[in-house]
Structure 1
């Protein structure tokens, strides 16, 4: 099976609207359902247009990507009509801005760093080096792992043993069999990765490396391909993850994603245990077991 990475990563405004319309019913949005067989799942175009306060013709042209300059007010009205989350609303605006860009204009992604040349921010490096008992890593654009501390290697696996091109959270989740054993809720973790990459595809429509990553995952993983078609959108912020670690067994940790306001392309991700919990005991046991490596500084491909 083959895939064109450029078209695989591409996300159209009309395609996004169709997926969001299909997941709602008249009951969800307090519209009367007059019965009759619906040819497709979800709301009809007429119902969506009514909710957003636009004409059916205008909304139809939007789904056909034939509206070059939808206003912010109309986009916000559609977001309310389709019950979009904050992340989804931002994504909708990103897609509309891309649609407004003149033919031949430079993509916003053109100024973003290439994954092979991205350097860890010095402040993030200092923070990472100071976290001895907290698994932590620096995630770059496209979910690349730019640096990590020994505690992260103990919890998540030895990134240093991987080829630099393989140090990617999404690629590791979908293509490394060990990840399916490590994450107790592998499906939930994998879906989060798909949703984040969709968000990035909206932000970085002209990024060839992101397109290649999405194309590779689409070709090599049927699950990624299926979930990508659903067009989920979600930022990576904070939450809880359950692990089934081969050494210490079950543990549940909280993760936080910390970004600098002036450089959202890099994030420090930390994993912590609830004080006094079994997870804290398990994490301490794991770090003690890997103690010889704990004296090492954080690592990155550029160090």
Structure 2
């Protein structure tokens, strides 16, 4: 029965792990954890419906009900994903609103890549974290406001960012196609719609590329830039999921050839470059 009703087994197990006192529930109990009616109350669903879910009756719940149950049971991101998989056979959509910044541990990982530019981005291409190599090779993000730290906005609306790209058209099309794919995966949200409206209104090129309806994954590829101090540099970029943060993605830019690695070493070791802001020399 438990194997057939994996959703009910999981709900019951997580319900029994919770401390009633932590949620303001009192009274003597014969079994550990919250009662069914208490979980139903926290999830704003009927006790009967919740009981049926634990018993494997009543059909599959909606994604909205599963979201409320995940919150009611204080599930971790991994547990939330498992709840959706056993409940409706697919993972939940990624969270549409990113938390501010990243964990200190993830920032230390970025900082441990002294010669490899690395950034953390949202589905809307907002940059939320970076390392020193990215600041020196791409853009000094510390000099930019939060709204300015958006790669799509800089690529289409900032002339100097555009001029720094050796292959602007292909880079721009790649960004638009991944933006479309990520927006569909994460679900429409205010941030994505606001960015879409702004770029469509201010850039005819963005509007034309968006109308093409191209869809691509971030994956990997090559990025070539013009650096004002180091000259042309080629990077091989790769993208990685951030465990526990489906709303974020890690991008690393490894120098493509030894000549590019030498340029990065000189750039990162030059005290003048390390102390110089690069707002006017953005390469996104």
TM superposition score normalised by structure 2: 0.60
Which runs of at least 4 in structure 1 moved beyond 4 Å after TM superposition?
A: none
Residue of structure 1 in register with 2:265 after alignment: 284
Rounded to whole Å, the distance in 2 between the matches of 1:274 and 1:196 is: 23
Residue of structure 2 in register with 1:196 after alignment: 178
User: Does residue 114 in structure 1 map to residue 112 in structure 2?
Assistant: no
Residue of structure 2 in register with 1:49 after alignment: none
Rounded to whole Å, the distance in 2 between the matches of 1:160 and 1:154 is: 11
Per-residue deviation at 1:176?
1.3
Pairing 1:156-167 to 2, within 5 Å after superposition? 156-167=138-149
TM superposition score normalised by structure 1: 0.56
Rounded to whole Å, the distance in 2 between the matches of 1:282 and 1:129 is: 19
For residues 8-41 of structure 1, the C-alpha deviation after alignment (integer angstroms, 9 at most, x for no partner) is xxxxxxxxxxxxxxxxxxxxxxxxxxxxxxxxxx
Q: Give the number of equivalent residue pairs.
A: 184
For residues 97-125 of structure 1, the C-alpha deviation after alignment (integer angstroms, 9 at most, x for no partner) is xxxxxxxxxxx76x72535x433144422
**Does the Cα contact within 8 Å between 1:124 and 1:268 map onto a contact in 2?**
no
Two-structure CA RMSD over aligned residues (Å)? 2.1
Rounded to whole Å, the distance in 2 between the matches of 1:269 and 1:184 is: 19
Pairing 1:202-221 to 2, within 5 Å after superposition? 202-221=184-203
Pairing 1:201-280 to 2, within 5 Å after superposition? 201-274=183-256, 277-280=258-261
- Indicate which of 167, 187, 210 corresponds to 1:185: 167
**Does the Cα contact within 8 Å between 1:118 and 1:140 map onto a contact in 2?**
no
SS in 2 for 1:270: strand
Query: Larger RCO: Structure 1 or Structure 2 (Cα < 8 Å, ≥ 6 residues apart)?
Result: 1
Which protein is bigger by CA-based radius of gyration? 2
Per-residue deviation at 1:274?
3.7
Per-residue deviation at 1:273?
1.4
**Does the Cα contact within 8 Å between 1:243 and 1:252 map onto a contact in 2?**
yes
Rounded to whole Å, the distance in 1 between the matches of 2:146 and 2:242 is: 24
**Does the Cα contact within 8 Å between 1:179 and 1:186 map onto a contact in 2?**
no
